[in-house]
Structure 1
């Protein structure tokens, strides 16, 4: 599935390109701190954690207890996981692949 065309314009294209130029976690933190409020950044991080937990089939109660997310936020993330543009699915798959690579490399060192 492709992204929502309502989201795409020259300004958001430039923002996406800016994200792609970030080279490491420190650069991300520096850019995030300048471009968004702490609350906005924490909200995005919370949604990603909710998505991870939903993928593991955690209950809404557990997700709320761990993340502090409202049931409305959890429902929205779940809707996006199931019927969205597959952005969560893409990043969750890549995060899992990264975790598997780390696990494989640490087992190889043993």
Structure 2
């Protein structure tokens, strides 16, 4: 855990996010909490992570997402040397999508 971000305030932020029950509720919270550009940047990073996890090339990822190679490289570094947050989210979304298909 990064001690630079682990504070009582960030705990409360994450608790607020976890209290949302639907995607629509998340939209409501994040539209109030973040700028449109911040939301789009976070969403882009998640898509980059998912594509890296699926073994897509940097060129494919840049073409599909519009992400810079610097962003792709940063996300890739996090996937390999980070706290596994991206991987956890990717795996859970995959499981949810598979559950919805069945």
Structure 1 residues 9-40: Cα deviation after superposition (integer angstroms, max 9, x where no partner): 11101101100111101110011000000000
Superposed CA RMSD in Å reads 0.7
TM-score of the pair, normalised by structure 1: 0.90
Structure of greater Rg: 1
Aligned counterparts of 1:44 and 1:37: Cα–Cα separation in 2: 11
Unpaired segments of 5 or more residues in structure 2?
Answer: none
TM-score of the pair, normalised by structure 2: 0.96
After TM superposition, the structure 1 stretch with the greater mean CA deviation from structure 2, 94-103 or 64-73, is 94-103
Higher RCO, 1 vs 2 (CA within 8 Å, ≥6 residues apart): 1
Residue 108 (structure 1) aligns with: none
Aligned counterparts of 1:21 and 1:54: Cα–Cα separation in 2: 29
Q: How many pairs were matched up?
A: 102
Query: Which of 74, 78, 85 is 2:72 aligned to?
Result: 74
Aligned counterparts of 2:18 and 2:57: Cα–Cα separation in 1: 34
Aligned counterparts of 1:67 and 1:20: Cα–Cα separation in 2: 27
Following TM superposition, the consecutive aligned residue runs of length 4 or more in structure 1 with deviations greater than 2 angstroms are none
Is the 8 Å Cα contact of residues 4 and 85 (structure 1) preserved in structure 2?
Answer: no
Cα offset for 1:6? 1.4
Unpaired segments of 5 or more residues in structure 1?
Answer: 106-110
Residue 62 (structure 1) aligns with: 60
Residue 91 (structure 2) aligns with: 93
